[in-house]
């Protein structure tokens, strides 16, 4: 039997269309308000528009004009729909993951507004537990049923009770969802917010779990949260992108700026669906927006892992679980230094009233990190 259907999927990592922790007044949200998107459209088009049938990403902020928070925190990770609209008008995402540690931080009402906003833009919010059934969606594309399901598997310091979105730390619910949804679709895409931040390689336990997900029926796993790219593994001819890194995000460390778009062609061949991945590299430039890049790191064996024993790779890279964790602590230290430097460099761009609050909130986060890592 010849090739019948060809479905082109493109997926990106974290999208922050707001100011973050350290760039209040000059971050991406403020930039969009002042300058719009015009300067970045051409480059974004190269990455996001290419006759794809399905465009996916992780929305790492709230999009609303209200918040339950006050002071500095009311400005962080809150995108203004009036300015964010442009981005989604131009780039028609089909679905965005709304199960992560920032999308709910402005409270339930703001979260619901975010879901309304996405739906008004024709985007399916994946992983929401409220406002109808948004845990998963099955889209019919070229006669195939494509199921998209999403969960967060990380702690959320902002939004504890209740969780508005699908969150499962031990993976039991994720596995159940995979088994259930797989029966209803031809291709199952699982979007997971997981892993260790700023690590460029997944944890061994995460890799074992990813294999289990594929064994139970997932066809494509799309990871986000670490803010850096991690390898894409081809396992049982299925695709596991452990972390797609940042896509639109303003962070001061080079590692967090290396990004790109994962393209997967799903092709039916002899009654089976085959998955052909390709990575289009990009680099995040000023103001947090990506441009295509000539970097060919994604052509290397260490980016597309295939047929390897993951345990061997993990051990040759890190030796043990303890050294993985030590590397994580080291990375957090590097990032903190970079953030302090960036903060000092840009202090003149901030309103004076925010400066003591930025320092206070950063110290609070540092303390909670130290308590957690004890």
Q: Is 227 among the residues that bind Fe ion (CB under 5 A)? A: no
The three-state secondary structure class of 362 is: helix
DSSP 11: E
User: How many CB atoms within 10 Å of residue 371?
Assistant: 8
Which region among 96-104, 142-150, 231-239, 332-340 touches Fe ion (by CB under 5 A)?
A: 96-104
Q: Give the pair of three-digit tokens for residue 153.
A: 């598997």
Q: Is 256 among the residues that bind Fe ion (CB under 5 A)? A: no
User: How many CB atoms within 10 Å of residue 294?
Assistant: 6
Give, in order, the Cα–Cα distances in Å from 146 to each of 78, 88, 140. Answer: 31, 22, 6
Interaction with Fe ion in 300-359: which residues (CB under 5 A)? none
The candidate with the shortest Cα–Cα distance to 43, out of 298, 254, 283, 277, is 283
Which CB, 193 or 258, lies closer to Fe ion? Answer: 193
Which CB, 134 or 224, lies closer to Fe ion? Answer: 224
DSSP 201: S
Which region among 123-131, 221-229, 257-265, 297-305 touches Fe ion (by CB under 5 A)?
A: 221-229
- Closest approach, Cβ 197 to Fe ion, in A, equals 7
- Closest approach, Cβ 196 to Fe ion, in A, equals 11
DSSP 134: B
Which CB, 67 or 101, lies closer to Fe ion? Answer: 101
Which CB, 94 or 100, lies closer to Fe ion? Answer: 100
Which CB, 217 or 245, lies closer to Fe ion? Answer: 245
- Closest approach, Cβ 318 to Fe ion, in A, equals 22
Residue number of the CB closest to Fe ion reads 225
Q: Is 225 among the residues that bind Fe ion (CB under 5 A)? A: yes
Q: Give the pair of three-digit tokens for residue 230.
A: 């991690």
Among positions 62, 94, 101, 250, the unique one binding Fe ion when judged by CB under 5 A? 101
Give, in order, the Cα–Cα distances in Å from 101 to each of 104, 156, 166. Answer: 7, 5, 11
- Burial-class residue 98 by CB neighbours within 10 Å (0-12, 13-18, 19+): buried
DSSP string for 70-123 = -GGGGTTTEE-HHHHHHHHHHS--SEEE--STTTTTT-HHHHHHHHHHHHHTT-
Q: Is 250 among the residues that bind Fe ion (CB under 5 A)? A: no
Site string for Fe ion, 49-88 (x = CB under 5 A): ----------------------------------------
- Closest approach, Cβ 364 to Fe ion, in A, equals 18
- Closest approach, Cβ 303 to Fe ion, in A, equals 22
Place of tokens 């289990």: 212
Which region among 23-31, 38-46, 100-108, 338-346 touches Fe ion (by CB under 5 A)?
A: 100-108
Residues forming the site for Fe ion (CB under 5 A)? 100-101, 225
């Amino acid at each position: 039997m010849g090739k019948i259907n060809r479905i082109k999927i493109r997926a990106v990592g974290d999208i922050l269309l707001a100011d973050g922790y350290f760039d209040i007044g000059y971050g991406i949200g403020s930039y969009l308000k002042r300058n719009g998107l015009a300067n970045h459209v051409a480059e974004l088009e190269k990455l996001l528009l290419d006759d794809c049938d399905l465009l996916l990403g992780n929305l790492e902020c709230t999009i609303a004009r209200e918040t339950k928070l006050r002071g500095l925190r009311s400005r962080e990770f809150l995108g203004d729909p009036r300015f964010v609209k442009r981005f989604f008008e131009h780039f028609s995402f089909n679905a965005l993951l709304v199960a992560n540690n920032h999308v709910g931080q402005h409270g339930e009402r703001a979260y619901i507004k975010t879901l309304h906003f996405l739906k008004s833009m024709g985007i399916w919010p994946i992983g929401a537990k409220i406002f109808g059934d948004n845990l998963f969606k099955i889209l019919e594309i070229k006669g195939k049923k494509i199921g998209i399901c999403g969960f967060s598997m990380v702690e959320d310091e902002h939004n504890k009770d209740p969780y508005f979105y699908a969150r499962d730390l031990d993976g039991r619910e994720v596995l159940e969802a995979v088994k259930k949804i797989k029966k209803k679709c031809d291709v199952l895409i699982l979007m997971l917010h997981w892993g260790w931040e700023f690590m460029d390689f997944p944890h061994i336990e995460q890799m074992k779990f990813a294999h289990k997900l594929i064994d139970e029926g997932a066809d494509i796993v799309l990871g986000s949260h670490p803010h850096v790219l991690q390898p894409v593994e081809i396992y049982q001819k299925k695709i596991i992108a452990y972390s797609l890194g940042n896509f639109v995000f303003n962070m001061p460390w080079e590692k967090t700026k290396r990004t790109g778009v994962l393209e997967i062609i799903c092709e039916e061949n002899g009654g089976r669906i085959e998955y052909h991945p390709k990575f289009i590299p990009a680099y995040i430039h000023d103001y947090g927006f990506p441009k295509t890049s000539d970097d060919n790191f994604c052509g290397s064996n260490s980016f597309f892992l295939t047929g390897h024993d993951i345990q061997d790779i993990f051990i040759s890279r890190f030796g043990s679980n303890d050294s993985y964790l030590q590397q994580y602590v080291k990375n957090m230290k590097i990032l903190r230094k970079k953030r302090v430097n960036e903060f000092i460099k840009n202090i003149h761009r901030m309103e004076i009233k925010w400066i003591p609050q930025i320092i206070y909130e950063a110290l609070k986060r540092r303390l909670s990190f130290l308590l957690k890592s004890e």
